[in-house]
Amino acid sequence: MTAAFTFPGQGSQAVGMGKALAEAFPAARAVFDEVDVALGEKLTAVIWEGPGETLQLTQNAQPALMAVSLAAMRVLESEAGFSVAKHAAYVAGHSLGEYSALAAAGSLSISDTARLLRTRGLAMQKAVSVGAGAMAALLGLDYETAVAVADEAAQGQVCQAANDNGGGQVVVSGDKAAVERAVEIAKSRGAKRAMLLPVSAPFHCRLMQPAADAMAEALAGVIIKPPAVPVVSNVLAAPISKPDEIRRRLIEQVTGTVRWRESVAYMAAHGVTRFFEIGSGKVLSGLVKRIVEGAAGVSVGGPNDIVSAKDALAAAQSS
């Protein structure tokens, strides 16, 4: 099989996402209803009506993005004949998107995933006092150089590579002063751009250990089944299928680097030529084209994308 299903992470959220899907397809509406029931609140009202500042809150953005991804996945299944088991070689997701990938592959229930992501969002926000941490994007440096920049900037504080997104885009995370130093060092090392990001906490670094502990407790209380196809783990950039390892890697992911560039490269090296980005936005589709020459990124986030996705899947199966 030459297709992989991928799922976006935080930053892809937008007020109104998924609304057209829910209005057009009962299968999508059912997902949003299930998420609302699982959380005991109308998250859909925030997703579709805003305000944007409320949707941006980590504890809302994470389950919201998952809801849109799973709604799109259910529509692809009911309207376009998509099947993770039949049509995907792998699933993968960027940060919180790994939870969406696992739900899509039947490893986690949608209700459990919504509750886990609410817990994850709250725990990540609480782990570090507001203003104490920061993240910055370093553009135009390879991963090894970005890691060296982070190491030099740390000076006894925390500064580490949080996201290796590919295409010369690496995000560093840690104590605010250390990340600010990394921005200046990166510029001196030839970065095209280096700038602080408007985020509420320093994700994917050691400062998130309290959140990792919270997720260890939360994940211990849910059923994880073997996924229909392997999930390419963020922290390994390699496929995993055993429930105990999935649980362990999800805990590690909170403080570990999202190895997205290597994950995409792994899937491409094992025959994947079309990457279906299922959910809000087109960030992952753009990255795929920069990571793997000749790879196709197909974004599926609204009703108008369903037919083109079906055609792309047919092409993937015949190639």
What confidence tens digit (pLDDT) does each residue in 275-309 have?
A: 999 999 999 999 999 999 999 999 999 999 998 89
- Per-residue model confidence (pLDDT) at position 313: 84
Q: The tokens of 312 are what?
A: 């792309």
Assign domain 3-126+208-318 to its CATH architecture. 3-Layer(aba) Sandwich (3.40)
Any idea of the CA torsion for 236, 116, 134, 165, to the nearest 10 degrees? 40
Task: Say which range, 191-200, 203-212, 258-267, has the weakest mean pLDDT.
Answer: 191-200
Instruction: Give the distance, in angstroms, between the CA of residue 309 and the centroid of all CA atoms in the same chain.
Output: 20
Active-site residue, 111 included? no
Picking from 298, 301, 305, the residue whose alpha carbon sits closest to that of residue 2 is: 298
- Model pLDDT for residues 243-277, shown as the tens digit of each residue: 999 999 999 999 999 999 999 999 999 999 999 99
Which amino acid would we find at residue 250? Answer: L
Q: Domain residue spans in the chain?
A: 3-126+208-318, 133-199
- Model pLDDT for residues 5-58, shown as the tens digit of each residue: 999 999 899 999 999 999 999 999 999 999 999 999 999 999 999 999 999 999
pTM tops 0.85, yes or no:
yes
Q: For the chain, give the percent of residues with pLDDT over 90.
A: 93
- Per-residue model confidence (pLDDT) at position 319: 63
Q: Is the pLDDT of residue 150 over 90?
A: yes
Q: Considering the domain 133-199 in this protein, what is its CATH number?
A: 3.30.70.250
Confirm whether 3-126+208-318 and 133-199 share one CATH topology: no
Average pLDDT over residues 158-186: 97
User: 3-state secondary structure string, the chain?
Assistant: CCEEEEECCCCCCCCCCCHHHHHHCHHHHHHHHHHHHHHCCCHHHHHHHCCHHHHHCHHHHHHHHHHHHHHHHHHHHHHHCCCHHHHCCEEEECCCHHHHHHHHCCCCCHHHHHHHHHHHHHHHHHCCCCCCEEEEEEECCCHHHHHHHHHHHHCCCCEEEEEEEECCEEEEEEEHHHHHHHHHHHHHCCCCEEEECCCCCCCCCHHHHHHHHHHHHHHHCCCCCCCCCCEECCCCCCEECCHHHHHHHHHHHHHCCECHHHHHHHHHHCCCCEEEEECCCCHHHHHHHHHCCCCEEEEECCCCHHHHHHHHHHHHHHC
- Per-residue model confidence (pLDDT) at position 317: 72
Average pLDDT over residues 72-96: 96
Across all residues in the chain, what is the average pLDDT? 96
Active-site residue, 270 included? no
CB atoms within 10 A of CB 180: 15
Measured between alpha carbons, how far is 20 from 196 in angstroms, rounded to an integer?
Answer: 34
Average pLDDT over residues 108-128: 97
- Compute φ and ψ for 169, nearest 5 degrees: -120, 110
Active-site residue, selected from the candidate residues 69, 95, 200, 263? 95
Active-site residue, selected from the candidate residues 69, 107, 200, 204? 204
Q: Is the pLDDT of residue 316 over 90?
A: no
Picking from 62, 35, 209, 48, the residue whose alpha carbon sits closest to that of residue 121 is: 62
Q: The tokens of 115 are what?
A: 């509750």
